[in-house]
Structure 1
Amino acid sequence: MRYTVATLLSAATFSLCAFARPPPPQPVASSTPLVKRYASGWCGVHVTQYQKNEGPTDTPTGNSEYRLTVALYDALQDNMGGAALLDAAGGVYEGIDSGLPDVFEVEVGANDAQPVRFLYNGQAWSSDQGQCSVGGYNGGLRNMDCGFNC
């Protein structure tokens, strides 16, 4: 088969044009962030409560309030959020950031002997009720685990 210069140039031009096409348009990024789904059912919360002036401190004078570390878990025990070293004044509910659809709230009492109280989606309970397991203070802190419907 015989090729002329014009045939070769025409084929080369066609091939180069195929490569010179602009890329197809890319999909527009969504401005709404993806929300992690959670497994509903019996969820859990783990709380470490530090006694006043006992927890890790970021000031030289100590802590004047309780400090809490809170971790929230869905029904599959996947972590759904929480708070680290949250300053908690006695008698004030604090909202905890999480992937749960409603706000989870926690409140400490005015003294060490009082239970920690919780609110979630119309439910209210405290750490001295049967759905919680609470250890005693040891080394300036105590740990507790509670379950709740989510």
Structure 2
Amino acid sequence: MRTTARRQGRRPRPLVRGELPRPVRHRDPRRARRLVPPRRGRLHDDSAIVVLGGQAKERPYPGATTVATVNAGVTGLVHTLATELAPVRVNAVHPGVVGDSPFWSGKPLGALIDRTPTGRLATMRDVADAVDFLLGNRSVNAVNLSVDGGWLLR
């Protein structure tokens, strides 16, 4: 049985940015199901779920193995959950570079803007509006929506 570092008297090792913790392996699938209790009872036929991904799945960069893999997994997750949870709608937003986010504050963005057909980067408001659209439009389901100003076109 695995125990946490704290229970073993060690300090937990902090996660490095972008690193995922080691998966917990279970030999008994019934136990794994208890770890992730079904939330279907909280959902109703008009419910909607929006998952956030990113564009590293389409344009990976050095050091982006983990984030690119997770972003690609979001696409599969949306398709699977939309099927399993129907009629609950499941969609995802995959933002490109969000120019006004704290992460990009003070960084040179001119080259990125030049590669974007709209001539501007997505904003946090654009991403929030996309989420609002996916939550509110009852005819949109299993969509992975890019919010990147067409950045992937170039």
TM-score range, shorter chain: under 0.3
TM-score with structure 1 length normalisation? 0.24
Structure number with larger C-alpha Rg: 1
Q: Which has the higher contact order (CA 8 A, sep 6+)?
A: 2
TM-score, length of structure 2 as denominator length: 0.24
Instruction: Judging by fraction of residues, say which structure has more strand.
Output: 1
